[in-house]
Amino acid sequence: MKVSVIGVGNVGATAAQILAYKQIANEVVLLDIIEGVAEGKATDITQCAPSYGFDTLVTGVTNNFEATKNSDVVVITSGSPRKPGMTREELLTINVDIVLNVTNNVLKHSPNAILIVVTNPLDSITYAVLKHTKLPKNRVIGMGSSLDSARFKFYLSQKTKLPINDIDAMVIGGHGDTTMIPLASYANYKGIPITNYLNEKETEEVVSQTMVGGATLTKMLGTSAWYAPGSSIAYIVEAILNNRKKLIPCATLLEGEYGIQDVVMGVPCVIGKNGIEKVVELKLTAADKEKFEKSAQAIKKVNAEIK
């Protein structure tokens, strides 16, 4: 199985590293526009093989989309990174043109590939890719809510002191500081509602921390995070290549689900060999339903700016 990663900054390179280390794919191709960067990172990753014991073929190329030919999955991280004080939405104008150009080149060589979009503002970029390519919605996946859900679990674990891997929680809605919706009503520890461990104020604090989780790291690091985003990408890729049928919150085009039309936003999805194989409709509380509808309207407003 072959995976190509377009754009190998911190996020793309981390995703490629995990794909290689865990031998999720047989072949991983790194592509970047900056001369030597993809080649150097591919070489660096491959030199880890004797220590980690993997045999995934990792290659790097500069702007040569021919090398991505016959990819099963293509990860698109290309674009300008988010800078301190910058919202994801402010990146829209810069990144739409970049990603659509990349998508055209990718599909020339891998017309059957499943695309995972990582570039921000993620929901609107994913929407632009779907509308531009006219691909079926199962083949274009926005990574955002998977990452947001991981951060939600982290903050819940920090607050409750419970093991992070025993906490089940998800975030839906937009991949933005004001549009994401951490579903506290569904969060649980081994089936026990998380509200058994947190009072209302503590729960609200966790929700607030989750919603600005990306911005918090940007302030600390001076750039966007990369370990958790790269891991979320690899998690989705693994579910596709191994047909796991995992329930993963991802951004997808809603066509009536949750009462929403023609908006890409995060919802729980069953991920398998065909990409998004099913959208799972949850019964939302009245408050969460209202937030979800407001999130959809906010994303639509951003989408209207796409040329």
User: 76, 99 in Cβ contact below 8 A?
Assistant: yes
Cite the annotated binding site by residue number: 7-12, 32, 82, 88, 95, 118-120, 151
* pLDDT band, very low/low/confident/very high, at 82 (cuts 50, 70, 90): low
199-238 pLDDT, tens digit per residue, is 999 999 999 999 999 999 999 998 889 999 999 999 999 9
Q: What is the pTM of this model?
A: 0.95
Average pLDDT, the chain: 96
Phi, psi torsion values for 104, nearest 5 degrees = -60, -45
3-class DSSP state for residue 243?
A: coil
User: 119, 78 in Cβ contact below 8 A?
Assistant: yes
Q: Hey, which residues are catalytic here? A: 175
pLDDT of residue 13 exceeding 90, the answer is: yes
pLDDT of residue 88 exceeding 80, the answer is: no
User: Among residues 71, 45, 57, 73, which one has the least CA distance to residue 143?
Assistant: 73
Question: What per-residue confidence (pLDDT) applies to 34?
Answer: 96
Q: Distance (Å, rounded) from C-alpha 186 to C-alpha 171?
A: 10
Average confidence (pLDDT) over 50-66: 97
Report whether the peptide linkage leading into residue 121 is cis, meaning its omega lies within 30 degrees of zero: yes
* pLDDT band, very low/low/confident/very high, at 89 (cuts 50, 70, 90): low
Class of domain 2-144: alpha beta
Cite the annotated binding site for substrate by residue number: 82, 88, 120, 151
Give the Cα-Cα-Cα angle 257, 182, 238 (nearest 5 degrees): 75
- Parts of the chain belonging to CATH 3.90.110.10: 145-303
Q: Distance (Å, rounded) from C-alpha 228 to C-alpha 2?
A: 22
In the chain, the DSSP E strands lie at: 2-6, 27-32, 57-62, 73-76, 114-117, 140-142, 167-168, 171-173, 180-182, 188-189, 192-193, 246-255, 261-272, 275-279
Percent of the chain whose predicted confidence (pLDDT) is above 70: 98
Sequence-separated (6 or more) residues with CB below 8 Å from residue 122: 88, 142, 143, 144, 175, 251
Sequence-separated (6 or more) residues with CB below 8 Å from residue 222: 84
Q: Distance (Å, rounded) from C-alpha 6 to C-alpha 13?
A: 10
CATH code, 145-303: 3.90.110.10
Question: What per-residue confidence (pLDDT) applies to 105?
Answer: 97
- Parts of the chain belonging to CATH 3.40.50.720: 2-144
